[in-house]
């Protein structure tokens, strides 16, 4: 076959095979139509980023931080304290690293080669800490009684697994220990020896792991003395009050012995730290002696306090009195209380016939009092050192003579016209026990009233009308006052 014919046959067979695979004309149209890639590109830019960024390194100042991601990195931006950009790095073969020479918080902004932007975790860089070991002792003095003083230490930035080496004159004394609070008691110390401790810290971010403590030099001359002072519970005690004294020891040990004295005489039950007495008088001297049980070398073991001179405020008695007042019925009356030792803020309670009637002032205004009413005032004093806070005045009985006004008219006309139908007794109501009796000209009692006196309507006690005429009244105001007179009825 000729080459030209073979080429034509191959072209025809290729297109027939293509038509067979497509299956119909629609498939041909879809194959030849141009493809729209805009939607695909748009989705690629907006899909969530699955890349994970990571920042590693220790937290000590001067350490190197390393940034990495789960997808290839195009660039990183180092951020300090969430605001400042301190470095930028583009795509490179070496690790993305940064040396943190300033304390603070760091993270990185990462852009991947696929265009994904993300932030890493953060790391906070801290300054280096300085480990310290401080040792102390109750006393650096040695003596025959206490030849082996004990030492303890207080570490700072020691870590969880620090070790300690005690030393005497810079030579290791004893094994390594892990608890510097356990007392170190070297034997055979002598004057001039020097005790110290070396700590190996396991803390992180420290300047150096091995540090030396302060030095303590041993001496054999005691300089410590015990002492005791007295503290009283009340600054200004009252005469007769119970006083409480407390011993304040210095260098007394954990359980010193005490003895209290009053005027240089040992007080009964005065062998405790606290001394209580209710029998002290003005000018008494109270002292306390103490014997120390401190487990150290002291110049002496006993001490006596300075004397406390008892100063007492004398007791005072509050007093109150109320003077009687003469008055007329229906007129208000002012009472004034006179007080002594009432204090700066006294409280007053006035009473009439034992019933509260007024308070808040030493002055009381009473109205509608009648003879026989009893006035008194209760004083509550807030003065210091009183025999009693509350005192009551002597009762004031209003039994003074009250002027009685006789009837204004000596006749009345009880005819029921509403004018001058009754005869009254002005002022009688001021007398609780007043009695009124009315008699006719034959000496027969026709009307009487007692206590709350009523007006007379011209009728007998039996309710019968009295005839016109002259009638005679007897008004007994109290046991000493009686008023008599006459009244005329006109009908």
Supply the DSSP string of 320-354, one letter for each residue: EEE------TTS-EEEEEEEES--SS-EEEEEETT
Side-chain half-sphere of 201: how many Cα atoms within 13 Å? 22
Residue 46 lies in a domain: no
What's the CATH code of the domain at 86?
2.60.40.10
Residue 27 counted as domain residue: no
190 and 254 housed in the same domain: no
Residue 461 located in a structural domain: yes
Give the domain extent around 160: 132-217
User: What distance in Å separates the CA atoms of residue 435 and residue 451, rounded to the nearest whole number?
Assistant: 6
Query: Of 290, 309, 328, which closes a domain?
Result: 309
The continuous run of DSSP H or E covering 167 comes out as strand 163-168
> d(Cα 434, Cα 426) in Å, to the nearest integer?
12
162-205 tens-digit pLDDT: 999 999 999 999 999 999 999 999 999 999 999 999 999 999 99
Look at the chain and report how many structural domains it folds into: 5
Report d(CA 154, CA 135) in Å as an integer: 6
Give the orientation angle of helix 3-22 with respect to helix 25-32, to 10 degrees.
110
Domain stops at, among 217, 247, 280: 217
Q: Which residues contact 176 (CB under 8 A, 6 or more apart)?
A: 163, 164, 165
Confidence at residue 325, expressed as pLDDT on a 0 to 100 scale: 76
Rounded-to-integer distance, Cα 202 and Cα 158, Å:
6
pLDDT at 141: 96
**Residue 208 pLDDT:** 96
Residue whose C-alpha is closest to residue 377's, from 367, 392, 365, 355: 392
Which helix or strand (DSSP H or E) is residue 74 part of?
strand 73-80
Question: Residue 330 has what pLDDT?
Answer: 56
CATH classification at residue 269: 2.60.40
Question: Rounded to 5 degrees, what angle do the CA atoms 39, 43, 48 make?
Answer: 175
Residues 329 and 384 in one domain: yes
Q: Are 210 and 356 in contact (CB under 8 A)?
A: no
The pLDDT value recorded for residue 236 is: 83
Q: If you search the block for the tokens 């300047």, which residue do you land on? A: 207
| Residue at token pair 């003065």 | 383
pLDDT at residue 34, as a whole number:
34
The pLDDT mean for the chain works out to 85
Same domain, residue pair 295 and 369: no
> Residue 381's pLDDT is what?
96
pLDDT in tens, 135-164: 999 999 999 999 999 999 999 999 999 999
First to last CA, the chain: 178
**Is residue 40 in some structural domain?**
no
Q: Strand ranges (DSSP E) for 233-341?
A: 243-250, 257-262, 265-266, 274-277, 285-291, 302-304, 308-309, 319-322, 333-340
Q: 4 lies in a domain?
A: no
Do residue 325 and residue 304 come from a single domain?
A: no
The last residue of a domain, from among 397, 425, 455: 397
Residue-wise pLDDT for 333-380, tens only, equals 889 999 999 999 999 999 999 999 989 899 999 877 777 789 999 999
Q: Is residue 63 part of a domain?
A: yes
pTM equals 0.54
**What stretch of H or E contains 21?**
helix 3-22
Q: Which of 307, 171, 308 is nearest to 237 (CA)?
A: 308
Residue 189 in any domain: the answer is yes
Is 30 part of any domain? no
* Residue (of 79, 57, 69) closest to 111 by Cα position: 69
CB atoms within 10 A of CB 423: 23
**Residues 88-110, buried b or exposed e (16+ Cβ, 10 A)?**
ebeeeeeebebebeeeeebbbbb
User: Which tens digits make up the pLDDT trace of 468-489?
Assistant: 999 998 888 766 667 888 999 9
Enumerate residue ranges in the chain where pLDDT < 50.
1-47, 400, 408
């Amino acid at each position: 076959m000729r080459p030209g014919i073979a080429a034509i046959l191959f072209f025809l067979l290729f297109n027939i095979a293509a038509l067979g695979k497509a299956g119909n004309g629609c498939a041909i149209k879809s194959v030849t139509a141009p493809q729209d890639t805009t939607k695909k590109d748009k989705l690629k830019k907006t899909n969530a980023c699955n890349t994970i960024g990571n920042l590693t390194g220790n937290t000590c100042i001067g350490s190197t931080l390393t940034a990495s991601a789960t997808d290839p990195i195009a660039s990183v931006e180092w951020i300090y304290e969430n605001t400042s950009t301190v470095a930028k790095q583009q795509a490179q073969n070496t690790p993305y690293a940064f040396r943190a020479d300033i304390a603070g918080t760091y993270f990185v902004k990462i852009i991947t080669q696929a265009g994904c932007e993300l932030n890493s975790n953060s790391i906070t860089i801290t300054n280096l800490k300085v480990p310290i070991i401080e040792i102390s002792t109750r006393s650096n003095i040695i003596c025959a009684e206490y030849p082996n003083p004990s030492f303890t230490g207080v570490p700072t930035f020691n870590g969880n697994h620090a070790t300690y080496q005690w030393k005497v004159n810079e030579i290791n004394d004893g094994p390594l220990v892990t608890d510097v609070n356990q007392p170190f008691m070297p034997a055979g110390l002598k004057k001039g020896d020097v005790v110290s401790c070396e700590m190996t810290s396991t803390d992180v971010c420290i300047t150096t792991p091995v540090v030396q403590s302060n030095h303590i030099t041993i001496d054999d001359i005691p300089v410590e003395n015990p002492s005791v002072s007295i503290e009283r519970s009340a600054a200004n005690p009252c005469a007769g009050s119970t006083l409480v004294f407390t011993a304040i020891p210095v260098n007394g040990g954990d359980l010193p012995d005490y003895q209290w004295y009053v005027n240089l005489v040992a007080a009964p039950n005065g062998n405790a730290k606290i001394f209580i007495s209710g029998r002290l008088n003005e000018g008494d001297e109270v002292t306390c002696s103490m014997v120390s049980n401190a487990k150290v070398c002291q110049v002496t073991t006993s001490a006596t306090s300075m004397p406390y001179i008892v100063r007492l405020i004398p007791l005072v008695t509050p007093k109150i009195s109320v003077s009687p007042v003469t008055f007329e019925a229906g007129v208000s009356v002012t009472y004034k209380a006179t007080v002594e030792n009432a204090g700066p803020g006294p409280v007053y309670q006035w009473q009439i016939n034992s019933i509260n009637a007024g308070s808040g002032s030493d002055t009381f205004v009473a109205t509608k009092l009648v003879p026989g009413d009893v006035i008194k005032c209760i004083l509550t004093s807030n003065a210091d050192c009183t025999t009693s806070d509350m005192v009551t005045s002597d009762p004031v009985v209003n039994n003074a003579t009250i002027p009685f006004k006789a009837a204004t008219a000596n006749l009345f006309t009880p005819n029921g016209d509403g004018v001058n139908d009754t005869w009254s007794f002005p002022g009688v109501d001021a007398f609780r026990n007043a009695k009124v009796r009315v008699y006719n000209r034959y000496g027969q009692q026709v009307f009487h009233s007692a206590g709350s006196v009523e007006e007379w309507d011209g009728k007998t006690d039996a309710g019968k009308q009295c005839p016109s005429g002259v009638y005679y009244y007897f008004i007994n105001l109290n046991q000493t006052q009686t008023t008599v007179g006459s009244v005329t009825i006109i009908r």
